[in-house]
Amino acid sequence: MPKLTRRAALAAPLLLAWPARAQGWPTRPIRLIVPFAPGGTTDVMARLVAERLGGLLGQAVVVENRAGAGATIGSAAAAQAQPDGHVLVMSNSTSHGVSPALYANIPYDAMRDFVHVALVATSPSVLVVNPGNRARDLAQFIALAREAGEIDFAVAGIGTSSHLAGIRLGAALGVKVNAVPYRGAGPALTDTIAGVVPAMLDSLPSAGPHIRSGSLRGMAVSSATRSARFPDLPTLREGGVDVVSAAWFGLSGPAGLPPAIVARLAEAVRAALSDPATIARFEELLGAPPPESTPSDFTRFVQAELASFAPIVRAAGLTPG
């Protein structure tokens, strides 16, 4: 059976079982908090998922952008919400990976204060520059960076995945990284396009359309293999830079969320990500279909990410700034 058909077939029985589970939920629109400004990858993925979930759950899923402090402001708001299933958060590699290691007084515990429902997407970074940049390809970018001894990068915020990817790139090249922080990938991309900052490492869904339009020039992707969406872009490793990194995005809710709601929400996410139109959209944005995960799978994943990011943050000597 073709993959799309098989995934859709697996999700179909779940839809039939919903009326018997989590009776009475949802009773009103669901707020999906995105802890970044509009326009970045977290926002793009959240809006795609929200649209699909709204139809499946029978209530609108409204995206609410609450940016700031390394994605901790919006995440804290979700952690403090009533655990009735009407407030969720688009958890991500910054809010539930890097920031807990970066901030000394973070207002939530990434494990204790949340129920982690499903991993929604993973995305490698793409190195982009303004079209006016002297670097026409990755080799020239590397040569210019080493000649200058430093590189200026727009980042979606201190401690974000784009920031850490930039730090790792600078370390691999042996040059200083000057991170210019913004309140999300959207504003950072805007200034990179305008030439205010010469370069950025951003996720494919937000940077990809600008590469296609020519408002940004793609240099390389941070994945282990080339992207099916941009097959002409080399990997950083192909350019002799040993850096592989990816951002991730998931759906989480406040601790205490009733198990019946968690189960129904997980089933809704699974059905949404199994829809052929959704799969096609993911492949268009990311060059790969969405992942499959259960709440227990995603919980273990978040725990592992927390453990992996902490030593990187310490080694880099990062502070919130």
For 27-68, how does the pLDDT look when each residue is reduced to its tens digit (9 = 90+)? 999 999 999 989 888 898 999 999 999 999 999 999 999 998
d(CA 136, CA 218): 9
Three-class SS of residue 200? Answer: strand
For 172-222, how does the pLDDT look when each residue is reduced to its tens digit (9 = 90+)? 999 999 999 988 888 999 999 999 999 999 888 789 999 999 999 999 999
d(CA 92, CA 42): 7
DSSP 20: G
pLDDT at position 134? 94
DSSP 152: E
- CA torsion sign for 31, 33, 39, 41 is negative
Q: Are 291 and 119 in contact (CB under 8 A)?
A: yes
Phi-psi category of 32—alpha, beta or left, where left has phi over 0 and alpha has psi -120 to 50? beta
Confidence of residue 8 (pLDDT cuts 50, 70, 90): very low
Looking at the predicted structure, is the pLDDT value of residue 163 above 70? yes
CATH superfamily for domain 3-123+246-316: Bordetella uptake gene, domain 1 (3.40.190.150)
d(CA 71, CA 248): 14
Cβ neighbours of 137 (radius 10 Å):
14
Would you state the structure tokens that stand for residue 320, as one six-digit string?
């919130």
Two domains, one topology: 3-123+246-316 and 124-239: yes
**Higher local confidence (pLDDT), 226 or 115:** 115
Helix, strand, coil percentages, rounded to 5, for the chain: 45, 20, 35
Looking at the predicted structure, is the pLDDT value of residue 21 above 80? no
- Tell me the domain boundaries of the chain: 3-123+246-316, 124-239
pLDDT at position 22? 59
First to last CA, the chain: 53
Close Cβ partners of 104 (under 8 Å, ≥ 6 residues apart): none
Close Cβ partners of 206 (under 8 Å, ≥ 6 residues apart): 39, 40, 41, 43, 44, 185, 186, 189
Average of per-residue pLDDT across 97-114: 93
For 121-156, how does the pLDDT look when each residue is reduced to its tens digit (9 = 90+)? 988 889 999 999 999 999 999 999 999 999 999 998
For 271-314, how does the pLDDT look when each residue is reduced to its tens digit (9 = 90+)? 999 999 999 988 887 777 889 899 999 999 999 999 988 888 88
Can you name the residues that pair with 252 across neighbouring β-strands? Answer: 89, 116
Q: Return the CATH class of domain 124-239.
A: alpha beta
Looking at the predicted structure, is the pLDDT value of residue 9 above 70? no
Closest CA to 40 of 119, 155, 212: 155
Tell me the pairing of strands 150-155 and 199-203: parallel
- CA torsion sign for 194, 199, 205, 208 is positive
